[in-house]
Amino acid sequence: MSNKGTTEECHNKKLHLLFAAFLLLPFTTETLAAPPGQGLQIQADRVDIQQQQGVSKYLGRVELTQDGLQLHADELIIYQSEKGIERISAQGSPTTFNQAPRAGQTEIRGQANKIEYRTEQAKIEFIEEAHLWKGNDQFSGAHIIYDLDKKQIQAHSDSDDESHPTRVRAILHPKKDGQLP
């Protein structure tokens, strides 16, 4: 076979891959909880999309951004159904989360070995070596749940591990009027 034929085959394969990626683009740009039209932007070293199973997996230096939200992880898995994204799972050492404040709101930052976001419950879970900062206030523990709708934080210790017991830690700064957050 000539070099010309091999070059054309290679070019055609690249076009097919590009076209396949273009077809899958709507699958990877669903929104978390943002207004329509503001999709997820994801960068990674590798991606594996299993559209029939509703799973897309991003590996290696993963960066997810969307309208003021940033997530950095080693691995990110998005689970999707006909209704849209159901769950996002991120793992890393550590995985970091940052939500830039909107008018009248406080910045939220967090890190853990694993971060889970469940869309129906509108909750973010920080699992294993979890830390959460809400403005100047800090929370740490084995497991922290932040309820986006209720603006509520729950922190738990790792009471099951008797060899390395952990406790929840909170550092709270009173507001200007003397009230705790």
Annotated domain spans of the chain: 31-171
Q: Say if domain 31-171 classifies as CATH 2.60.450.10.
A: yes
Q: What is the pLDDT of residues 62-98, one digit of tens each?
A: 999 988 889 999 999 999 999 999 999 999 999 999 9
Q: What is the pLDDT at residue 116? A: 97
How many Cβ atoms from other residues are within 10 Å of residue 80's Cβ? 19
pTM for this prediction? 0.73
Number of H helices, E strands in the chain: 1, 10
Q: What is the pLDDT of residues 12-42, one digit of tens each?
A: 343 333 333 333 433 332 334 444 446 889 9
The percentage of residues in the chain with a pLDDT greater than 70, rounded to a whole number, is 72
Distances (CA, A) of 164 to 40, 114, 157, 159, 161: 38, 19, 11, 9, 6
Q: Which stretch of DSSP H or E encloses residue 79?
A: strand 69-81
Q: What is the pLDDT at residue 102? A: 80
